[in-house]
Amino acid sequence: MKRTSNGKYAKQSAILKEKMIAPVLLILTTAFTWGVSLSPQIYAYTEPVEIVETLVAPTPEPTPEVVEPTPEPKTQKQEILEYIIQVFGDNAVEAIKIAECESQFNPQRVGDQHLMSINLQTGEEIGDSIGIFQIRTGDTTWNRAKANGMSVPEFRNKLTDYHYNIDYAKTIYDNAEDWHDWYNCMNKVL
């Protein structure tokens, strides 16, 4: 560094501009003591240091974690509708209409109690209709429970399982090849 006529230091700018370097200066500045200014002492380190530009890649924003919502559990009605569609296939729309008319998709529904009678073969009280498609347990001359190797109470209980009830309704439908065994609802909804 050269000292100029006014007492200040001048930089050796030509060298610095050519080499893209700059001096590192260590400067101690004025100290203040009880409001009195001391003369500054300036020290310069004149060895040039190369300027290096460091590029830092921006930190990518963290990708928010995608959390799949937990699906709501299916209701029993949804399960029943899906099972009717699975079992009845091309006839599912009609089957759903009949099931809704008969029981509103309630597997516990008991109907036709006014048709109860004593079965002549077994002596059991029979004739009520159980579950989703309201499968009738029998009449005085026929007994679905006995035909399936069960007592009437066992058969009634089995019909409250919607899988069994829908499968049984499909068997009745396939044997009849239509909905006439559900005559009242067939006339109302189809």
Task: Please state the domain extents for the chain.
Answer: 2-50, 76-189
pLDDT reported for residue 21: 41
Q: Are 110 and 127 in contact (CB under 8 A)?
A: no
Q: Quick one: residue 7, left, alpha or beta (phi over 0 = left, psi -120 to 50 = alpha)?
A: left
pLDDT reported for residue 96: 98
**Options 1.10.530, 3.30.420, 3.30.70, 3.30.1390; which CATH number does 76-189 get?**
1.10.530
pLDDT reported for residue 158: 97
pLDDT reported for residue 32: 40
Structure tokens at 151: 């007592």
Burial 124-162 (b: 16+ CB within 10 A, else e): bebbbbbbbbbbbbbeeeebbbbeeeeebeebbebbbeb
The overall pTM is greater than 0.75: no
Mean pLDDT by 10 residues, the chain (190 residues): 44 43 38 44 54 68 85 94 98 98 97 93 92 95 92 96 98 96 96
pLDDT reported for residue 20: 42
Alpha helices in 34-123 (DSSP H): 76-88, 92-103
